[in-house]
Amino acid sequence: MRDLARHFGVSEVTIRLDLTFLDEKGLLVRSRGAALVKNRIARELTLREKHGEHAALKRKLGEATAKLIGNGERIIVDSGTTTEEVAIALHDHQDLVVMTNGLNIANRLATAEQVEVMVAGGLLRKKSLSFYGATAEASLRHLHFDKVILGVDGFDLKLGLTTHFEAEASLNRLMCRASEQIVVVTDSSKFRRRGFHAICDIKDIDVLVTDRGIPADYAERIAQLGTRVILVD
């Protein structure tokens, strides 16, 4: 602390406040006598912040993912902004049942006449507008779906799919177990990032919808596992 204050020509109180601010923003990890900058750990964004990231690309990803869903299917759509674009693109589908843990997803589908909407109960996490908890998990235990459309915070070759919130990861795992196919939709900025809580291994993914910015080593490894990859421009 004293060295930083001397280097920047400010008081130790100012340095302490600045480090606290950066820690709260998820840009570093504070430990006794040190502050470490996060690199591969992804910072969790609010839903509003996520809406501003890669908006045009997310729209294309949503449209491409919606084409994988047939009329008459029963699917789960995970919370998130990329999956929200999937929901928007489902309005012309017929005889569709969609379960979601995302309040924003349910709101987007509320005006889709041929889409029946089921919302997982539980507690509402306001940062992500997603439901979680024992009630949400119980709503999935006796149901079966054709597909789960899953968004992620991190996609790492070793850790697999990850997210920041433990209860959300737990619910996501149940979604995967309740579904015949796991469809992951994410822009390429999520590759090489890690959330804190694991959802599933990469080998469990049936279809990956992403953009051409996917790193070459990721594309090669995913192809080796037999996962179908759909790339958008």
Q: How confident is the prediction along the chain (233 residues), in pLDDT tens digits per residue? A: 666 556 556 676 665 666 565 555 444 544 445 544 444 445 444 545 544 556 899 999 999 999 999 999 999 999 999 999 999 999 999 999 999 999 999 999 999 999 999 999 999 999 889 999 999 999 999 999 999 999 999 999 999 999 989 999 999 999 999 999 999 999 999 999 998 899 999 999 999 999 999 999 999 999 999 999 999 98
At residue 27, the pLDDT reads 47
Q: Burial of 32 by CB count in 10 Å (0-12 exposed, 13-18 middle, 19+ buried)? A: exposed
Pick the CATH number of 47-232 from 3.40.50.2000, 3.40.50.1360, 3.40.50.150, 1.25.40.10: 3.40.50.1360
Q: Which of 141, 138, 132, 209 is nearest to 166 (CA)?
A: 132
Q: Which of 197, 153, 150 is nearest to 178 (CA)?
A: 150
At residue 232, the pLDDT reads 97
At residue 196, the pLDDT reads 87
Contact criterion met (CB below 8 Å) for 121 and 157: no
CATH 3.40.50.1360 domain residues, the chain: 47-232
What percent of the residues of the chain are helix, what percent strand, and what percent coil, each to the nearest 5? 35, 30, 35
pTM: 0.78
For residue 9, the tally of other CB atoms under 10 A from its CB is 7
